[in-house]
Every structure is written in structure tokens, then in C-alpha cells.
């Protein structure tokens, strides 16, 4: 199995899981907190679809998976992605964590094959690895 086939296989599983755990009927307007605030820009399914598109584009063009690349595609900051991950809505938490896990798997893989994996180790430590 080539690297592209391997990553496409992982993304296929992510996509199937995302479609099984998210609903199309998520109402972005009703998801404002009790204290008020801005409604969600995306539904969990829309975020998952954007993540799949980002990962597939990276695979096709031999680019690395990055959290900031994902944030740029979604049009949110890294802090915004972390806020979604800490959301009270389980669908957001699940989809963001799964997307970040794919990036962690990618970094772990690259750290194993790189002649000097210092950067990958640094990034993984900042993602909570010890």
C-alpha cells in the first residue's frame, strides 16, 4: 500500500464515521448559548466535509496536514477550533477531535520516517503528547 492509498484509506474511515455521527438537521441559529452570542458558522457535518476536502487536497498535492491549514480552510482561528473542541455540543467535539487525531497520526508517521524528527516531536508535545 502506497502512502497516498494509506492516507486515503484513513480519510475514507474518517468520512464514514463523520457521516454516521453527524446530522444534516443541525440548526445553527438555535445553537446560540443561553447567554447569547453569535450563532455557529458551520454545522458539524459542514466542518467534517471541509476537513475531508482539506485532507484529500493535501494528499493529492503532497502537502502536510496542519492544524492551521485546516483553520484557514474553515475560516476560523486556531482558538476558534479549540473553542469548538470544548463546545457543549458533542457533535462538534467529536468531529474536531477526530480531525485533529488525523493530523496527529500524520505527524507521528512523519516523525518516524524523517531523518531529524525534531519539529514533529515539538508539535506533538504541544498537542499534549509526552
pLDDT tens track for 14-37: 999 888 888 777 766 665 566 666
Q: How many CB atoms lie within 10 A of CB 94?
A: 17
- The count of residues in the chain is 130
Write out the H or E segment, with its range, that includes residue 57.
Answer: helix 44-60
Alpha helices in 2-130 (DSSP H): 3-21, 44-60, 67-74, 78-85, 90-113, 118-126
pLDDT tens track for 88-122: 777 788 888 999 999 988 888 887 777 777 877 88
**pLDDT at position 37, please?**
66
pLDDT tens track for 44-88: 888 899 999 999 999 999 999 999 999 999 898 999 888 888 877
Q: Which of 59, 85, 79, 81 has the alpha carbon at shortest distance from 70?
A: 81
pTM of the predicted model over 0.85? no
C-beta separation of 17 from 108 below 8 A: no
Amino acid at each position: 500500500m502506497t502512502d497516498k492509498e494509506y492516507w486515503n484509506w484513513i480519510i475514507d474511515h474518517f468520512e464514514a464515521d463523520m457521516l454516521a455521527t453527524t446530522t444534516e438537521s443541525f440548526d445553527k441559529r438555535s445553537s446560540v448559548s443561553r447567554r447569547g452570542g453569535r450563532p455557529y458558522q458551520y454545522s458539524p457535518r459542514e466542518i467534517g466535509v471541509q476537513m475531508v476536502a482539506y485532507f484529500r487536497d493535501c494528499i493529492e498535492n503532497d502537502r502536510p496536514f496542519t492544524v492551521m491549514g485546516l483553520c484557514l480552510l474553515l475560516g476560523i482561528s486556531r482558538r476558534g477550533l479549540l473553542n469548538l473542541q470544548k463546545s457543549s455540543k458533542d457533535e462538534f467535539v467529536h468531529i474536531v477531535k477526530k480531525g485533529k487525531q488525523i493530523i496527529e497520526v500524520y505527524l507521528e508517521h512523519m516523525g518516524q520516517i524523517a531523518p531529524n524528527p525534531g519539529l514533529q516531536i515539538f508539535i506533538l508535545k504541544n498537542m499534549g503528547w509526552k
